[in-house]
Structure 1
């Protein structure tokens, strides 16, 4: 699990191997990741964009960015939490992800909430 807090926005990530969607013989390793975003600050913030850096086990990096997450732009008041699960395919049994969420305050100002790097790996790949 990874955890980062930026301006009161806590981002926790729980990754997992998705065996049903993987096919090692074809070099497809699927991983899910569950993101929990909590507003521990004093003011509301809306998630506007995501920006990911995905790296596989041989150093190939892919950059992905776009509006919202899973088709949503959640607005979090202080004390509120939003959770979602998504997935990513890799060509190797191990990799990493890190990134940011662009958060917007009611006055229109924005900041980048950090998503700390997390490891995507087959259950026994790190032993």
Structure 2
């Protein structure tokens, strides 16, 4: 698990290879990731947008940007956390993702970015 704190928000990421949804012969490798967002501030926050960078070991780079996460824009009171699971596919056995969330302080409506720490996606047999 990787973890990073930005502006009082802790982002933790766990990754899981999905062999049942992968096709190594066809260079299709599916990974799931579980993200936990913890609001350690004294004010409520709302996650408005996400911006992902997805890189495989061939150097291919994709960007994904959009509203919220998994179809929602979670609102977190001070001390609350929100967890979701999503996924990404790669054309290689090894890759990485990183990015940012755009958050809004619900007290003063100011926007701020929170870093999503870089995390590796590695097919388990590559770790031997």
Q: Give the TM-score taking structure 1 as reference length.
A: 0.97
104-113 vs 21-30, which moves further: 104-113
Segments of 5+ residues of structure 1 without an aligned counterpart are none
Segments of 5+ residues of structure 2 without an aligned counterpart are none
- How far the C-alpha of 1:126 sits from its partner, in A, is 3.1
Q: Paired residue for 1:60?
A: 60
Distance 1:124 1:78 in 2: 41
1:12-37 Cα deviation digits (max 9, x unpaired)? 00011001100001110000000000
User: For this pair of structures, how many residues does the alignment match?
Assistant: 127
Q: Paired residue for 2:95?
A: 95
The 5-angstrom pairing of residues 1-127 of structure 1 reads 1-106=1-106, 107-127=108-128
- How far the C-alpha of 1:108 sits from its partner, in A, is 1.6
Please tell me the root mean square deviation across aligned C-alpha atoms, in Å: 0.8
Q: Give the TM-score taking structure 2 as reference length.
A: 0.96
